[in-house]
Amino acid sequence: MKKGFQNRPAARLPVLLGGAVWILLALAGFLPRIHLGIIEVLFLLGPWIVAPLGADLLTGGEASPRSDLRGPRDGVLLAAATLTTISFFLNNRIVAAGFAGAWLLVCAGFALDGLRRLVRSREKSFSQFCFAAGEGYLLVAGIWLVASRAGVPFMGFQEPIVLLTGVHFHFAGFASAVLAGLTYERLRESPGAVFLRVAIVAVICGPGILGLAFLLGPKVKLVAAIMIAVGQIGLAAGMFRVGLSAKGRRGRWFLFVAGGSVAAGMALAAIWAIGEYPLQAFVNIRQMAQFHGVLNAIGFAVCGLLGWAQLKKVSSDPCSVTGDSCPFAGVARLGTAPFLRVCQTLALQDCLSQSRVTDHATRTADTPETNRACQLTTGSRRLAAASSLSLAGREAGFRPRVYCLGEHPRTRLKAVLKALSDS
């Protein structure tokens, strides 16, 4: 089995912990003494998995200036998800609404971040608009959650419609908007980007219009549901395109599963909407939750976010290579940071000439920080000098040789010593 960067899990430890907790809750729902139905289980997928995954993707990765806030943010999300879960087991509706209010505060924080994002980007970035809209939908989801836990009719609706609205805005609102923004960001320069943008507009506007359609009548509901279905199918096609061109195999298959799931789920949604118009439903609410809800929540939202998280990890790898033709490929499979830095310095020119390294590695190749890192790793000033070779030396034809695991069957120590002696 290959070792290295691409085989690391797509999700971080807090998300993996949330996934484990959610699986336990889903299994507990089969017990007769645990009152958790399919709708409650699907909702809890949002606080435990979808929101943390989406937050990671919105912050822009490990190198983001805001990545140092991940620790406190993870703690807040974990505490709010725990209190929200407890609220589903409380009989006192006032106390349950108070516990659920913790998640409403988190959703309000997301919405404020979306407003900041919208003000800063204005009309310059369509993907940032998608992210801002998704974070705004979370606030709507939080309000309907508190109303559901309080056990009071909200805007003339009873359960399970109240909780289902919270579920709807977590997945069709927040998760879909994040996936739409990421997909457009990747394909905005490709042919057909205009059609993708039209589909994404339907994805972004559809959940809000569908929410209003419940107040305006079945005709508007039919139009809104078909708009969402067409937009999501267009988004699925875009995710398939991203998957076909993706480097990471695991991320590619996650995107394929997400695209197929949302296409099937939207077909069911269209059937439901057509049945709602003459008020002769072809599928009932529970059937929609079992099939459409599971496809949209797990197949589309979770797999799609995991796929993008994996692709982000692969693209942020300083040794992102395709195939084994690059002399850097053996180092990528070692997964050892000190040895990786040594070979990175020595093989830099070869890799750059083949365009096999990322822009990040290109920008940081000959900086003093890189030289100091190599010197600290190896204790050698000669290696640091070799890494900062003058332009005259490069023009004279000096090309450092790389010693990778895939090229010579040496141990790591021998490879390092040989590299140092050649430098």
Across-strand partners of 154?
157
Three-state DSSP class for 157?
A: strand
Count of positions (residues) in the chain: 423
Lowest mean pLDDT among 57-61, 175-179, 224-228: 57-61
Give Cα separations from 252 to 149, 210, 224, 245, 295 (angstroms). 38, 31, 30, 8, 18
Average pLDDT over residues 49-63: 81
| 189 C-beta neighbours (distance < 10 Å), count | 6
Q: 178: which strand partners? A: none
> What is 117-136 written as a DSSP string?
HHHHHTTS-HHHHHHHHHHH
Query: Average pLDDT over the chain, rounded to whole?
Result: 75
Distance (Å, whole) CA 162 – CA 143:
10
Q: Is 229 or 321 the better-scoring residue by pLDDT? A: 229
Residue 240 is inside which H or E element, if any? Answer: helix 218-245
Q: Is the pLDDT of residue 47 over 50?
A: yes
* Residue range 349-370: mean pLDDT, rounded: 42
pLDDT tier, 273 (very low <50, low <70, confident <90, very high otherwise): low
Q: Where is pLDDT greater, at 214 or 192? A: 192
Q: Which residue has the higher pLDDT, 66 or 342?
A: 66
- Long-range pairs for 239-244: beta carbons < 8 A, 24 or more residues apart: 239/179, 239/183, 239/304, 239/307, 241/187, 241/190, 242/183, 242/186, 242/187, 242/311, 243/307
pLDDT tens-digit readout, 20-32? 999 999 999 888 8
pLDDT on residue 422:
63
How many C-beta atoms lie closer than 10 Å to residue 6's C-beta?
A: 20
Measure the CA–CA gap between 380 and 53, rounded to whole angstroms. 41
Q: CB count, 10 Å around CB of 242?
A: 22
Percent residues over pLDDT 90 in the chain: 40
CB-based contacts of 223: which residues, under 8 Å, 6+ apart?
A: 209, 213
* Structure confidence at residue 316 (pLDDT): 56
CB 351 within 8 A of CB 328: yes
Q: How far apart are CA 243 and CA 356, in angstroms?
A: 20
> What's the half-sphere exposure (Cβ side, CA atoms, 13 Å) at 123?
0
C-alpha angle 17-23-24 in degrees, rounded to nearest 5? 90
Query: Rounded to whole angstroms, how far apart are CA atoms 299 and 178?
Result: 15
143-165 pLDDT tens trace: 999 999 999 888 888 888 899 99
User: Residue 414: what residue type?
Assistant: K
Tell me if the bond preceding 160 is cis, omega within 30° of 0: yes
Read off the tokens for 194: 């205009």
Give the chain's end-to-end CA distance (angstroms, integer). 33
Cα separation of 177 and 54, whole Å?
A: 10
The Cα–Cα gap between 361 and 373 comes to 14
Select the highest-mean-pLDDT range: 244-248, 265-269, 329-333, 385-389.
Answer: 244-248
- The set of residues, in sequence order, having a beta carbon less than 8 Å from that of 50 and lying 6+ positions away, is 170, 171, 174, 175, 297, 301, 302, 305
pLDDT the model gives residue 157: 86
Per-residue pLDDT band at 209 (split at 50, 70, 90): confident
Structure tokens at 7: 């085989």
Residue whose structure tokens are 């332009």? 391
Give the highest mean pLDDT range of 110-114, 260-264, 339-343, 360-364: 110-114
Confidence of residue 14 (pLDDT cuts 50, 70, 90): confident
Band (pLDDT 50/70/90 cuts) for residue 322 is very low
**pLDDT at 320 > cutoff 50:** no
Evaluate the CA torsion angle 235, 237, 240, 241 in order and state its sign.
Answer: negative
Residue 406 CB: number of other CB atoms within 10 A?
Answer: 15
The answer for residues whose C-beta is within 8 angstroms of residue 330's C-beta and 6 or more apart is 324, 404, 405, 406, 407
Nearest to 138 by CA among 117, 160, 159: 117
Per-residue model confidence (pLDDT) at position 402? 43
Percent helix, strand, coil in the chain (nearest 5)?
A: 75, 0, 25
- 27: CB partners within 8 A, 6+ apart: none
Least confident of 4-8, 119-123, 312-316, 411-415: 4-8
| Angle value at C-alpha 138, between 63 and 38, nearest 5 degrees | 110
DSSP classification of residue 188: T
Contact 49, 15 (CB under 8 A): yes
The whole-number average pLDDT for the span 341-356 is 42
pLDDT at 352 over 60: no
Q: How many angstroms separate the CA atoms of 331 and 352, rounded?
A: 15
Looking at residue 323, what is its pLDDT? 36
pLDDT tens per residue, range 286-313: 777 778 888 999 999 999 999 999 888 7
Checking if the pLDDT of 241 tops 90, the result is yes
More confident residue, 125 or 22: 22
